[in-house]
Structure 1
Amino acid sequence: MSNYFEIIFNTITEARCSVRRQYCKDFQSKTIQVEILRSKKVGNYGDLPEGKRKPCQLIWLGFLLLWLAACVKNDELPGIELESSSPFLAFPLANVNISSNELIEELEGDTRIQLNSEGLYTAFFTSDSIVKTKDELFPKIDINLPLPIIDSVVVLPLSLISDFALKKGVLKGDAITFTFNSLEEEDIRVTIRLPQLKKEGKEFTAEFVIAFDGSPPSTFITPAFGLEGYEVDFSSGNLSMIYDARNVDGQRIVLPLSFAQIGALDFSYLEGSIAQTSIPSGLQRIDVAIQDSLVEGTYTFQNPKIHFDVANSFGVPIGINVKNVYVVGADMVPQALQSTLFDNLIILDYPGFSEIGDVVNSRITFDKSNSNLLAITHNDIVAIDYDLDIIINPESSGNSDFFITDSSRAILSAEVELSFDAVVEEISISKAIPTDFSSLDSVIYFRLKAIVDNGLPLSFDPILYLKDTIGGMELILKEEAGRKIESAPTDELGNQIGTATSVLYFEGDEQDVVTIRNMNLLETTFVIKSPLEGSIPTKISPELRLDLRLGVEVKLH
């Protein structure tokens, strides 16, 4: 037997078990290693037959070990090595989820996001609409001043209206009053007509009496005559007032200076030949806020589009003269859009006489097929600037009749359309989750383990940040072998067709171990790319998601 065995044997046989029971606590956290070395036979024990040695050895060894567990002190076992155990713990830390729906919600804000015909999310950014009404072409004709009536026939030229060669119009309101004077010493009966004004086929006519009050001149002020609904005939280009004044004997007389009072001429309907008129839009801007605090980086959309939509309820053709369009990138340097659509005036349709009240919608689109838009939107789009003119009756059709109603509108809206079939180059997505490592005060090693089920057609290069938001410290951990989160499998068009699972490890060094227990925030940041390292488009559709389960492995003293 070994020397160690002899020492143990002698210790027990001499009954030196005087060790107090409290010393047993020293052994509760220790591992006892006993090495038994084969040596010479000792005493009569070595003379035993070979077959009886093993049972005897086992009985003695078991007996001795039981007694050692309760009675032996460290210093009584010279040569026995005691090693401290080092617990190794693993526990879940956090779950991080990213979904296509969530990305769209983060982007949305004031942005309109819809699904297009291919089932892809599409973001729309619009400018304020430019609205042109009848009043832009035919403003209300304010008169307000008394119109002198110096004879029985008065002709008022309507120069503004006659410039447009209108045939007729319908008054929408206001009223007219007359003030007539008489020098006659008797009652005078007056009939006044406005031959260009008719309602339901009947000419405007009013009759009244200037009563003699005993001393000339006599004056009569008529009540206000409402003009709403009267149709005005513009064929002569004038508005005539004709009165017939007669005394009690029926003789015609001419009245002294009298007056007509009308506040304004305003029309609910106009018809006739309308001269060509240009309405400039001025420089306008569409803000394109595709990035926010969640998404930042660079990417290239495969088919960006700029739309100009015109909703026209004027019964007259409208033309659009697009003068300039600029794409403004992140560097705020405008790049000029070039397109064949700039070469000619763009003529849009309009409602006919059988469609009064209807709206005809037209769209002008700049895209990669008719412009250099794709070539100048490789970097982030910040804004679109544009300047154009709206042309009424662009072909100057002088022999055609058109109409305009009081509710007629020409509404110009500009819109940028970005569907999420983009080539992703360098976009980062970040999420922060509170953590607590304060109880790990004996850590000598730690490693984070991430298991990722990725249903997004994007590959991710992950970086983890452990932050002390109070002390301002930060640990940056990268995947120890440079592995990436694999993209969900896609077809050749970028459509997601499955889910990919990745396992990644983030190991801290010795200095990181010292500070980990002060960290109270975990921020996961993923730099993402389209499939095949950004070489084919990514198509983002609803209900796609990435699930990341993050755990931590620590080794304690």
Structure 2
Amino acid sequence: MQKICSWMSILGILFLAQACQVVEDVSVNKSQVEIAVPLFHAQMSILDMLKNSKDSASLKVYPNNQISFLYDGELVRKTSEDILGTIPENKIPIVLPMMDVPLTILNGVQINEAQIKNGYLHYKFTNDTADSDITVDFTIPQLLDGTQPFMTQIVISKANGLPASYEDSLDLSGYDLDVSAGILSLHHTAVNENGQQVTLAIDSDLANPTKSYVYLKDVVFSYVEGHWDRVVHDFEAQDIKIDFFENNFVNGEIYFDDPKVEFTIISSFGLPVRTKLNYFRIVEKDSSQVDMVSQALIDGIDFNYPSLSEIGETKETFFSFNKSNSNIADILNTNPVRIEYDIDVTVNPDNLSSSIGFATDSSYFSMLARAELPLIGKVNHFLTEKEFDVDFGNKDAKEGVLKIATDNELPLEVAIQLYFLDENGVVLDSLHSGDDAVILEAADFPGPSSKHTEIEFPIDAQHWANINRTKKIRLKGNYTSSQDGQQIVTFLATQKTQLKVGLKLKY
């Protein structure tokens, strides 16, 4: 499970204290004593807020100070072992002196030539009739050590009686296979001490030979060239968690003007491959699903790949789902909490019989995804909540004033409500009743500009009696773009907000 965290959740920490300072000086006159209690003073740019967040997504700041959230991940990766498959250790029974065996040892690959990195050729011959030692000459013309075909001569001794066997393994490291005809030839001659030809023991159960046979064991190829049949590799469905509307958010809307999902496909296989997204869909907070619609989902994406003259090189393919070729902008603006996707990869998707490809032991293909959410969009009554510790000091005051001063460069207006909580988290009172009061005016867009706002909230004796045991303040912020949430704005790395909050108590 992977996640993309919401940039809007960071706005809630505008009100977290970085350094406390006195908002009003202590003053004394003849009629009363006034004491100023600092609560918090915060100054933070939007880039600072994003960097200090716990988001797993990375940030990209462009030269013009525009910001994007990026999520990078590898969706698919296949290696040579995945594509070639493993060679089964199937025993081939020796039944004739001259045998041509179809070479179908790999996963849908008709091999023309191959270089063996490591592995073994295991063989066994049995004499159960000739009453003498026998000599066996065994050769495989297509198995080459340099330019020389594999050839060996063995003697099966009857010293311990019949049946008598000889069994051995050949280290194939560095050998080549030249099987352009699609067959592997197994040739042998067996003669007794008088030079007369004899027949090796033949198994009655050819499917499970135990007397005379050969097989390949633990073979790994460093290079394979040939024709790949059409083979579909199915990947397990996966998902990506998105925290836009689950992390600290209560309600509201965020609209990203130009979100996109970009794919980079890297391949060093010398063969045609096509990836297909069987589905790519958004799961919303209420568990409803919205599918992405795009012609590319129907057609699939073909990989660029190196030719036979480019062995060892990699080729890249780029594709982007954006608002011009899909409904990605619509589905990413529906309060998503999760992306679900299922991918298939097809080798030789058009089943071309004339296609000759290659793979090395280091060949791979990888499908990388990057979701980019530019901080350009609109916000409509988006709610956040944060709690922080406070100390109101002396509780013997009669009344007071809560003073808030702000300088806002963000193109958002913010309405707030404060809830005063005791040490157990029980709400003692709120700052005001009714609708939220706007105290942060939105900066003019496109700006740059700043809006200064000051507001005082009187606290009478009854109100003070309710809140003087406060240990925490819960701050609820309601964020809205200009023009009643319809203004699309750009958030810049240089934009910042200052907030000073103090409590002036009268005794």
TM-score bracket for the superposition, by shorter chain length: 0.7 to 0.9
Q: Does 2:181 match 1:230?
A: no
* 1:424 to 1:191, Cα distance in 2 relative to 1, 3 A: same
TM-score of the superposed pair, with normalisation by structure 1: 0.74
**Contact conserved, 2:415 with 2:436, CA < 8 A, in 1?**
no
* 1:245-295 alpha-carbon deviations (Å, 9 max, x no partner): 345565554444452343535433221222222223354322212356555
Q: Are 1:473 and 2:427 counterparts?
A: yes
Contact 2:245 2:336 (C-alpha < 8 Å) held by counterparts = no
1:349-372 Cα distance to aligned partner (Å, 9 max, x none): 112223323332323321111122
Give the secondary structure class of the aligned counterpart of 1:110: coil
C-alpha contact (below 8 Å) 1:186/1:211 kept by paired residues = yes
TM-superposed deviation, 1:425: 1.6
In structure 1, the partner of 2:315 is: 360
Could you list the per-position Cα deviations for residues 283-331 of structure 1 after superposition, in whole angstroms to 9, with x for gaps in the alignment? 4322212356555542111112133443322211222333332222222
2:19 corresponds in structure 1 to none
Deviations, residues 358-388 of structure 1 (Å, cap 9, x unaligned) = 3323233211111222233333221222334
Pick which of 474-483 and 312-321 moved more: 474-483
1:427-463 CA distances to partner (integer Å, 9 max, x unpaired)? 33444332222513131x2211112122333322232
Alignment of 1:540-551 (within 5 A): 540-551=491-502
Q: State the match for 1:210 in structure 2.
A: 156
Q: Does 1:174 align with 2:127?
A: no
Alpha-carbon distance in 1 for matches of 2:419, 2:506: 21
- Residue aligning to 2:67: 121
- Structure 2 partner of 1:500: 451
Q: Would the aligned equivalents of 1:477 and 1:507 in 2 still touch at CA under 8 Å?
A: no
Q: For residue 537 of structure 1, what is the aligned residue in structure 2?
A: 488
CA distance in 2, matches of 1:129, 1:97: 39
1:279-294 → structure 2 map (5 Å cutoff)? 279-291=233-245, 293-294=247-248
Counterpart pick for 1:385 among 325, 333, 340: 340
What is the CA deviation profile of residues 383-436 of structure 1, one whole-angstrom value per residue up to 9, with x for unaligned ones? 222334322122333213111223322333444321221212233344433222
| 1:24-423 paired onto structure 2 within 5 Å | 85-105=31-51, 108-115=54-61, 119-125=65-71, 129-143=75-89, 145=91, 147-159=92-104, 161=106, 164-182=109-127, 184=130, 187-211=133-157, 213=159, 216-217=161-162, 219=164, 221-247=166-192, 252-257=197-202, 259-264=212-217, 265-291=219-245, 293-294=247-248, 297-423=252-378
CA contact (8 A) 1:310 1:411 kept: yes
Same amino acid, percent of matched pairs: 24
Task: Tell me, in whole angstroms, the C-alpha distance in 2 between the residues paired with 1:362 and 1:100.
Answer: 35
Q: In structure 2, what is the equivalent of residue 23 of structure 1?
A: none
Match of 2:443 among 450, 472, 488: 488
After superposition, the CA RMSD in angstroms is 3.3
What amino acid is the match of 1:465? Y
Q: What letter is aligned with 2:477? A: F
1:535–1:469 CA distance, 2 compared to 1 (3 A):
same
Structure 2, unaligned stretches of length 5 or more? 1-27, 203-210
Equivalent AA in structure 1 for residue 244 of structure 2: I
Note closer, same or farther for the CA distance 1:191–1:423 as it changes in structure 2 (3 Å cut). same
**1-side partners of 2:63 and 2:144: how far apart?**
53
Distance in 1 (CA, whole Å) between partners of 2:441 and 2:45 is: 16
Distance verdict in 2 for CA 1:177–1:379, change over 3 Å: closer
Q: Does structure 1 residue 555 correspond to structure 2 residue 501? A: no
SS at the partner of 1:441?
A: coil
* Offset, 1:537: 3.0
- Contact 1:162–1:237 (8 Å) recurs in 2: no
Distance 1:247 1:544 in 2: 95
Cα gap change, 1:304 to 1:340, in 2 (>3 Å): same
Q: Contact 1:94–1:433 (CA<8 Å) still a contact in 2?
A: no
Amino acid at match of 1:551: G
Quick one: which amino acid aligns to residue 404 of structure 1?
A
Q: 1:46 maps to what in 2?
A: none
CA distance in 2, matches of 1:411, 1:30: 75
Of the candidates 452, 462, 467, which is equivalent to residue 516 of structure 1?
Answer: 467
After superposition, give the CA deviation of every residue in 1:445-497 in whole Å (9 maximum; x if it has no partner). Answer: 22111121223333222322222233723322259994431233432xxxx52
Structure 1 residues 212 and 434, CA gap change in structure 2 (3 angstroms): closer
Distance 1:136 1:244, change over 3 A: same
Going from structure 1 to structure 2, the CA distance change for 1:148 and 1:319 (only over 3 Å counts) comes to: closer
Q: Distance in 2 between matches of 1:107 and 1:255?
A: 76
Identify, as 1 or 2, the structure richer in helix.
Answer: 1
- What number of residue pairs does the alignment pair up? 468
Distance in 2 of aligned mates of 1:461 and 1:98: 19
Checking the alignment, whether the CA contact within 8 Å between 2:245 and 2:337 is kept in structure 1 is no
> If the length of structure 2 is used for normalisation, what is the TM-score?
0.81
Q: What letter matches 2:440 in structure 1?
A: I
Letter in 2 for 1:94: F
Instruction: Tell me the residue number matched to 2:11.
Output: none
The DSSP-based 3-state class of the residue aligned with 1:514 is: helix
Higher RCO (Cα < 8 Å, 6 or more apart): 2
**3-state SS of 1:446 partner:** strand
Contact 2:84/2:107 (8 A) holds in 1: no
